[in-house]
Structure 1
């Protein structure tokens, strides 16, 4: 049977513990590095999405302003047409009155 207190056994156990600790440490470092990359990738994606959202908001603002402008033009056009219709009605009324008078 091997004596656990012999120098060779102590060195072997010590070396095995060192190898296990080094392996665990390197796995932890790799995991943290991968996590850091993942966090950085997520940050990049968030920044890209924020840029897209900003562009969408700008496009929305432009489209909304254009819609308001076109609505205002349509209202002015409708008012103009209504004025023209009113004017024509008054002319027709005047012509009818003129015709009655003759």
Structure 2
């Protein structure tokens, strides 16, 4: 007996633009996550509209954001200019501590 493959209709006609391949490869390598239909758009929406936490400025235009991927209930770090994402930043104890400190500051 063979297992039937489920095809999510939101993928019909969808593709990953070449400029985002690097991000998706790094996300798989660093977090073992493959985004489903709509996850990437939701992540960009969170960054563009201020729902993602700005953790650290890397240059004048680039920053590391903490973004929640709700389908996995996972928090990831991404390098972004506030409009587009460039890479999935590796998780680190330092960034986790910065994120927790920001959360504690917001509670005060």
Q: Which has the larger radius of gyration?
A: 1
**Structure whose residues are more often helix by fraction:** 1
- Regarding TM over 0.5, the answer is no
Structure number with higher relative contact order (C-alpha < 8 Å, ≥ 6 residues apart): 2
Category of TM-score, reference length = shorter chain: under 0.3
TM norm structure 2 = 0.20
TM norm structure 1 = 0.21
**Structure whose residues are more often strand by fraction:** 2
